[in-house]
Each structure stands twice: as C-alpha cells, then as structure tokens.
Amino acid sequence: MPTEITMPQLSDTMTEGTLVKWKKKEGDAVKQGEEIADIETDKATMPMEAFEDGKLAWIAIDEGQKVKVGQTIAVLAVAGEDPAAVKETALAGHQAKAVEADLPASESPLPQELGEEGATAAAPSEQVSPAAQPPAQSAPRDASAAGGRVAVSPLAKRLAEELNIDLTAVTGSGPNGRIIQRDVEQAAQHKPGATVKVPAAPSPAVAPLPVPAAPAMPARVGSGKKEVLAMTKIRSVIAHRLQMSKQNIPHFYEMVDIDCEQVNGLRAKLNESLEKQGIRLSIADFLAKALAVTLLDHPDMNATFDGQQITRHGDVNLGIAVALADGLIVPVLRSVEQMGLKEIRQRSADLIDRARRQKLRQDELSGATFTISNLGSYGIRQFTAIINPPEVGILAVGSAEQRPVVVAGQIVVRTMMTVCLAADHRVVDGSTAATFLRTFKQLMEEPALMLA
C-alpha cells in the first residue's frame, strides 16, 4: 500500500501549514527520518521527516501552497511499488474527489459562493438590492429548492419566514456557512421596513419631552451595494506577516520631534550645486544617512531576532517601505553606511522605481536590518508602524511642517518633523530606544555631525 503523507500538526495551535520547500523530487528515494520538506507553521518553519522508507511518487501540493493539517501533500510508494503507477492512481483519486467537490457548486448557486467567487469572477460589482429585486433574480431560489441546499438552522429558517427575509441574500456565519439565528436577525435589522422584535427599553424615570408629530418622511433605503474581493497574493502575505508581527512582538513606541531647519538649509545648498548633475536630494536621503550613522552607533537596534538569539549586523541594510496600488513592499538598500547622500538618492530612487513596477529581484527584498516608513508626503504628522520581523525596529516618519515651537523662551516658527520608533521589547528596552533616538535627533538637527 502506498503511504499518504499528510500535513503534520507541528504545534498545538497549528491548523494549517505552508509548504515552504520540497527537499525531494518526485521519484527520489527517501529514508525514514530523512527531511523531505520544510513546513511553515503559524510559529516557525520546521523540517518534516519521512516516517518510512520509500520513493516519493507524487507531490500533491506546490511550494508556497498552504493546506489544512491532515490534508494529503504527497504519496510515498513503498518497496515493490512502481512510483509512476502509484502517482497515476493517486492523481486519479484526487481528480475524482475534486470533481465531486465541484459538482454541487456548479449546479447550485449557493449564496456564499455567489458572494465569494461568483461576484468577483462573473459580476464584480453585482448589486444586491433586497428592495428592488428584479423578477429574474428569484430564479436561483427555485433552483436551490430543487437541487442545491441553503444551509440554515431550523430556527433561522422559521425566523426568516416570520420576518420575510430572503435566505438566499443572507450570508451564514455558522459552520459551513450555515445561516443561524443571529444572521437572520442582522439581516432583518438591515432590511427596510422590517419589524424586528427588540426587547422593550426600560421606561425612563422622567416623562419624555413631548415630541412633535414627525412629518411623513420617505424611508432611506440603502443601495445594498457591496463588492467582495478575493485576497491577492500580496495582501495575503501582508496580512499574515503583519498579524504575526503584531501578535508575537511586544511593540513599544517612542516619539521625538526634530527641528529640520538646518537639514533643510543644507539640502537646499547641496541641491543647488547638484542641479547640473540632475540630482535632487530629498529629506528622505538625509534620514537614511542619519539612520545609517545612528545604527552603527547603536548596534542593539541594527539587529535581527529569531526568537532564540539576537544577531547584531555590521552592515546597515535599510528596508524602505514603498506603497503600491494594492499593498506594500520593502526593498532593501544594502550597506547604506558606505554611501554618500548622492549614492543614497540614486540607489533608492532606482529601488523605489522598480518596486512600483514590480521589477525587483528576490534578493533585493530580503536581508534588511532596520526599516523606515515615511508618510511625510501624505501630510501625516505622526504614526506608529509595525515591525517587519526578524528586525527589531522600524522608524515611522511624519511630514516636515512649520510649527510654533519654544526656542529660548520665545515662540517661533520652525520646520519640525515627528518620528516614531517602534521597537521589539524582547530585544531592547526603553532606554536603548531613547538613546538611539537622541543620537538620531542630534544628527538630523546638526547634520555636520555626520562627518565627525
């Protein structure tokens, strides 16, 4: 008998895993205990071992694919079995199952499928308007009564009848999309003109003010318009990684205001002389330069943490958060501590440009030791950012703007910028972050110090 290899449960909380890498190909011989794949769980990436000897006959899922615990990921042909024949049988069985699973879906338009797939694939902005449902729309309901099924609890079904709610327009929140009591009650609340039994409010102690007879007002009927979007690959990655970061890393935040008068003056002077070369420095270049110097001075912050050990890095590889139409990408400016402002400008402009055109190589997207996220151009005064693991810090930069500040007992107008450092409290403490920010502030306010 060939052996099915299933997604193992590698931690108590693991419900699904991503196959990061296959270490064997179809046809390869494997020994019991030999590593055959790397599995990314909710917590870490772990090697998966073969439980018995054999030949890897069929790899059922591709690298990068995420499947539930217990789902078949490969089939092993044991001694005396022909891997090719085993693969054929396994494939046939798999396809039969897939067809089975597809059948009801293609024949019966279940409401949740209409919502999730039908709506995006067939009619991206299908309007769901319970008030004005065209007659043709009642057809699917008949069809579902004849062939398909709407999963609904008996109570919810009875309630829907009483409240005159069309169940095909209700999304179920129970297991397998089952429509339950609360779904119908919620639908009823959003339905115009529906009478919903609401527990009577306790009578107020004082007599209510007389209310003038309300003029007859037309009911406000929402269009009910909505659009359901599948998660793009990049959104899934962002969702997964940032949720993991915010859940696992004890973030703490420190903010500091920076006087930008001097750095702006220097920038204007340098830009004058660089104009002929077609180079125009931005404040972001000074931020990058100052960060590089600060990080070399505070190696605790130029570090990565894998949950076990802290690695301090001798190079400053600066991740630069770049917004895309749908998502966010962080190209890495490597060895920025070796660069002058001009080179920083040229290289970061190139990286950002290629990031927006999605032309970056994989190695340009990894290996950062610290990240900077700048929303200054959006007029944001101050914000907090989520650490990009395994890094231990990220600097969130707001816009440089004119603010009234007190200098030597006088209120004066200065160009100020607020930056917020988010740091991983497992690795560094408040005072580490504070001295880091102090150095950074000094360098930005007195840029000549960067030469010192």
Size of the site for another protein (CB under 8 A): 11
Among 380, 414, 378, 375, which Cα is nearest to 395's?
375
DSSP class of residue 152? B
Beta-carbon count within 10 A of 47 CB: 14
Nearer to another protein, 180 or 287 (CB): 180
Spot the catalytic one: 240, 251, 313, 425.
425
Which are the contacts of 184, defined by CB distance < 8 A and separation ≥ 6? Answer: 156, 159, 160, 163, 165, 167, 170
Give me the 427-446 binding string for another protein, x by CB under 8 A, dash otherwise.
--------------------
Give me the sign of the Cα torsion angle 310, 314, 315, 318. positive
Bond into 111 cis (ω within 30): no
Nearer to another protein, 111 or 172 (CB): 172
Q: Is 186 in the site for another protein (CB under 8 A)?
A: no
Under 8 Å between Cβ of 379 and 223 = no
Q: How far is the CB of 156 from another protein (least distance, A)?
A: 6
Q: Is 170 in the site for another protein (CB under 8 A)?
A: no
Nearer to another protein, 31 or 149 (CB): 149
Q: Is 173 in the site for another protein (CB under 8 A)?
A: yes
Q: Which residues of 318-337 are buried (b: 16+ CB within 10 A; e: fewer)?
A: bbbbbeeeeebbbbbbbebb
Residue position matching structure tokens 């450092």: 421
Nearer to another protein, 184 or 330 (CB): 184
- From candidates 174, 224, 327, 389, binder to another protein by CB under 8 A: 174
Q: How buried is residue 33: exposed, middle or buried, by Cβ count under 10 Å (0-12/13-18/19+)?
A: exposed
Nearer to another protein, 180 or 396 (CB): 180
Q: How far is the CB of 100 from another protein (least distance, A)?
A: 23
Give me the sign of the Cα torsion angle 69, 74, 80, 84. positive
Instruction: List C-alpha distances in Å: 127 to 66, 110, 122, 222, 223.
Output: 32, 17, 12, 11, 8
Nearer to another protein, 157 or 251 (CB): 157
Q: Is 181 in the site for another protein (CB under 8 A)?
A: yes
Q: Is 425 a catalytic residue?
A: yes
Of residues 118 through 137, those in contact with another protein by CB under 8 A are: none
Residue 322 CA to chain centroid, in angstroms? 14
Q: How far is the CB of 159 from another protein (least distance, A)?
A: 9
Q: How far is the CB of 15 from another protein (least distance, A)?
A: 16
Q: How far is the CB of 12 from another protein (least distance, A)?
A: 15
Whole-number Å distance between alpha carbons of 13 and 154? 33
Per DSSP bridges, beta strands 54-59 and 29-30 are antiparallel
Give me the 148-167 binding string for another protein, x by CB under 8 A, dash otherwise.
-----xxxxxx---------
Q: Is 98 in the site for another protein (CB under 8 A)?
A: no
Which tokens in the block code for residue 178?
């089952």
- From candidates 180, 322, 333, 420, binder to another protein by CB under 8 A: 180
Nearer to another protein, 176 or 308 (CB): 176
Q: How far is the CB of 179 from another protein (least distance, A)?
A: 10
For 31-70, the DSSP string reads: -TT-EEEEEE-SS-EEEEE-SS-EEEEEE-S-TT-EEETT
Q: Under the rule (CB under 8 A), what is the footprint of another protein?
A: 153-158, 173-174, 180-182
Known catalytic residues? 425
